[in-house]
Amino acid sequence: GEGGALSGRHVVVTAGPTHEPLDPVRYVANRSSGKQGYAIARACRQLGARVTLVAGPTALPDPRGIETVHVETARQMLAASEAALPADAFVACAAVADYRPAYETEHKVKKERGGLTAIDLTENPDVLASIARHASRRPALVIGFAAETDDVLGHAEAKRARKGCDWIVANDVSPGTGTMGGDRNAVTLITGEGDEAWEDLPKSEVSRRLAERIAGALGPAPG
């Protein structure tokens, strides 16, 4: 609330999957629930930040006190994220589709007319890398997520450099961890000044700690 460690700050959070249309009724998507991103948005709000949540399609209700911008595609997520700037911190929690169908047909693809037996794909913009390298309005703190199934820390550190972000929150999403769609998460925070492994925690608690770390990195509230 007022007077919190993030009061006077603006935090933009992306969350959920993206849906990439093929035709008016079909899309390519992934299994992201949006839970972790929504929880981070709420935790930042709880510390007094103004929060903009850029959300792909999820089953979650709009969090109270948070401006939620609903998008479907990666390109819309990038446009909405850029439109939300300036911000003090950007947290890219969304599971953005790396590729989208190269052609979106105006009418439903019909089986009787040959149907759909292959899908040409084209690369989507990288929302995190675009915001981290924004020419005029790069937020002071840009945080990405890395969901990996092997060599979690190695891949995550490489990702931090490649994307140009400040921190990476790395987690293991191997089958059996229950992270995807679940309520708990065991993460390692990679800051460039060392790796911090956090114990297995509810996503709400991961979010609370991350919000506190964001506040600490941004320093005392302005004004």
Binding-site annotation: residue ranges for CTP = 98, 108, 125-128, 145, 159, 163
Half-sphere exposure of residue 14: CA atoms within 13 angstroms, side-chain side? 34
Paired residues of 23 in beta bridges: 26
* Single residue of 36, 52, 73, 124 touching ligand C5P by CB under 6 A: 124
Residue 96 lies near ligand C5P (rule: CB under 6 A): yes
Query: Shortest distance, CB of residue 78 to ligand C5P, whole angstroms?
Result: 8
- The separation between CA 154 and the C-alpha centre of its own chain, rounded to angstroms, equals 20
The answer to whether 2 touches 82, Cβ cutoff 8 Å, is no
What distance separates the 2 farthest-apart alpha carbons in the chain?
Answer: 65
* Single residue of 5, 80, 146, 170 touching ligand C5P by CB under 6 A: 146
What is the C-alpha to C-alpha distance for residues 88 and 222, in angstroms, rounded to an integer? 11
Binding residues for ligand C5P, total number by CB under 6 A? 15
* Single residue of 34, 144, 185, 208 touching ligand C5P by CB under 6 A: 144
Query: Shortest distance, CB of residue 74 to ligand C5P, whole angstroms?
Result: 5
* Single residue of 43, 89, 127, 214 touching ligand C5P by CB under 6 A: 127
Q: Catalytic: 30?
A: yes
Strand ranges (DSSP E) for the chain?
A: 10-15, 20-23, 26-28, 50-55, 67-70, 89-92, 99-101, 121-123, 141-148, 167-172, 184-185, 187-190, 195-197, 201-202
Question: Whose Cβ is closer to ligand C5P: residue 173's or residue 186's?
Answer: 173
- Tokens standing for residue 130: 């675009």
Question: Whose Cβ is closer to ligand C5P: residue 5's or residue 39's?
Answer: 39
Query: Shortest distance, CB of residue 166 to ligand C5P, whole angstroms?
Result: 12
Catalytic residue among 30, 124, 171, 185: 30
Residue 92 lies near ligand C5P (rule: CB under 6 A): yes
- Using alpha carbons, list the distances in angstroms from residue 14 to 23, 49, 90: 25, 15, 8
Residue 145 lies near ligand C5P (rule: CB under 6 A): yes
Instruction: Catalogue the active-site residues.
Output: 30
